[in-house]
């Protein structure tokens, strides 16, 4: 599980759902959608420090830094290490927020020609990010 700490910078609530924006550092801002509102979850308030959690298997790697997609969260990083398995491989990225781990198919490593020191973008859908009270 990847975990970063940040502060809530924006909350957009409609009905039972909220999109929470979390400022991780001056470069990285992540958005998460939750079935909570500031009324149902006391930790949802501006400036509160929280942890964002997401599974390694939910991270998409893109080698095109300007590609457009519906994915709202992107983190720039450099490949630090690749651990190849038969079907799945683990790719570790160094980012401005710290290390980030992704699990992708081993075929994708070959297809994208992923190598150590390559600059890539990690993409995470907003419904894959979980929040945890620190």
Partner 1 sequence: MIALNIQKELQSTDGKMLLNLNLRINKGQLVTLYGPSGVGKTSTLRMLSGLLKPGEGVITVNDTTWFSTDKDINLKPQLRKIGYVFQDYALFPHMSVLQNLEFALHKNQKSNIITELLTIMELDQLKGRKPDTLSGGQKQRVALARALVQKPEILLLDEPLSALDSTIRLKLQDYILKVHKKYSLTTILISHDIGEIYKLSDWVFVLKDGLLIQEGTPSEVFISKKVSGKFKFTGEIISIEKEDVVFIVRVLIFSEIVKVIAQESEIQNLGPGDKVIIASKAFNPIILKLE
Q: How far is the CB of 48 from partner 1 (least distance, A)?
A: 13
Q: How far is the CB of 56 from partner 1 (least distance, A)?
A: 6
Dist CA 37 CA 7 (whole Å): 16
Site mask, partner 1, residues 17-46, x = CB under 8 A?
----------------xxxx----x-x---
Phi, psi (rounded to 5 degrees) for 81: -155, 155
- Which residues 83-112 are close enough to bind partner 1 by CB under 8 A? 83-90, 101, 103
Is the Cβ of residue 67 or residue 90 nearer to partner 1 in the bound state?
A: 90
Dist CA 68 CA 54 (whole Å): 22
Residues that bind partner 1 (CB under 8 A): 1, 33-36, 41, 43, 53, 56-57, 83-90, 101, 103, 127-128, 130-133
């Amino acid at each position: 599980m990847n975990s970063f700490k940040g502060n809530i910078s924006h909350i957009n609530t409609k009905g039972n759902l909220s999109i929470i924006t979390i400022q991780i550092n001056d470069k990285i801002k992540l958005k998460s959608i939750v079935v909570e509102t500031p009324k149902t979850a006391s930790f949802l308030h501006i400036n509160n420090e929280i942890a964002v959690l997401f599974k390694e298997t939910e991270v998409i790697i893109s080698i095109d830094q300007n590609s457009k997609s519906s994915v709202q969260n992107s983190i720039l990083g450099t490949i630090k290490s690749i651990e190849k398995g038969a079907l799945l491989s683990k790719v570790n990225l160094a980012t401005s927020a710290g290390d980030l781990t992704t699990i992708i198919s081993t075929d994708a490593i070959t297809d994208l020609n992923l190598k150590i020191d390559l600059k890539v973008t990690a993409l995470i859908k907003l419904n894959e990010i979980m929040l945890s009270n620190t």
